[in-house]
Structure 1
Amino acid sequence: MKPNALKALRVAATLSILAGASGLLIAGTDLATKTIIEQNRIANIKKNLSKVFPDADFGDGVKLSGDDYLTDYYPASLTDGEDGRVYACSGTNQFGGVSILIGVYSDFTLGKMVVLENTESYGSTLQSNYLDKYDAANDGASREEALYDVNCGATYGATLVRDMVLEAVSHYKEGK
C-alpha cells in the first residue's frame, strides 16, 4: 500500500471514531436532559395556571397527542360553580414559535391567555398589537372579537395564536 493511502486511511478512521463519539455524546446528553426539560415545562405551566383562572382548583394535567398545537389540558373547578379547562398550546411558523395557556369555560367562552414563550421575530409587535388587546378584553365576546382581529403587524404570529385557541375550543366542544 502506498504511504499516502495509508495516511489517508488513518485520518479517515480517526475522523470516523471522533464522529461516532460525538454522536454518542449528543445522544447521551439528549437522553439525560429530556426529562428535566419536560419537568421544567410542566412546572412552568403549573406556576401560571392561576393566572388564567385565579380562583380555581386544578386537576391533574391530561397529556394530549394527535393535535396540531395542543400539548395538555388541566381541568379547572371555579369558585362560582362553573367549570373550565386550561389548555397548554405550542406552535411554530416561519417566524418563530409561541407557547400559551388559554382558558376555556364550560360554555366554550374564552378565558384569559398567558404567554409562556414568544420567540417570534416580530414578538414585541405580536405582544403589543395582538396579545395585549386580547388581555384587555374583559368578557367572552370582546375576547372573541380580539382573537379574530389578526391584522396587527405580526399577522403570521397572530394567526398562529388564533389557530391554537380555536383548536383548544374545538377539542373541548368535542368532549375529548
Structure 2
Amino acid sequence: MKRVQLAAGSVSALTAAVLALSATPASASGTYSGLAYVYGAGAFADDWGNEGIVDQSHNTSSNATCLWQKILYADGLLEAGDIDGVFGKDTAAATSQWQSTWTSDTPDGSAGKLTWTAAGQFLFNSSGTRTGNTVSYYSGLRRNISLSRDSDGYYHFTDGNDSGRIAGYDYRTCS
C-alpha cells in the first residue's frame, strides 16, 4: 500500500513539475500586461510600458513581433522585406543595435518591458505631440510608421505588404 501511495505521490509531483516548466513567462499573452495584444488606454504617451516579450524564445512568431520589426524598419535597422512576424537572428541583431542606441540596459536582442517602454517614447499624434488619446505614428530615424489604437485599446499597423494588422501575441498573420 505504501508503494502505491508513494508512486501516486511521485506521479503527482512529476505532473506538477512538467506543468510548471511548460508555462513560459510570455506564453500566449503579453508578459507584463497579461493581455493578448499590444495595448493602451487613456493618454497614449505611456502605452508601451507593460508589453510582453518578443524575442527568439517568446512570442517568436506573432503580429506583436511584426510590429516590433516595423519599428526596427522605421529606424533603418531592417529592410521592408524583413518584416514577416518571425523573430529570427536578423531581428535579434537589429534589436541589439536598437537597444545600444535607445536604452540604458545592456543590449540582449530581446524586446521586453524596458525596450518597449523606450520605443513608446517615439509615439506621436497627428499634430506631432505626445498628448491626448489618439496615437497616429511611430517616429523613426529614417521613416514614420502609421499606427492607430482602436476603441478596445488594441494597436493596429500595416505589415511589410501594407496589409492592416492588429498587434497580437497569440497569432501571426503578417507577411
TM-score, scaled to structure 2: 0.29
More strand by share: 1
More helix by share: 1
TM-score, scaled to structure 1: 0.29
Structure label with greater radius of gyration? 1
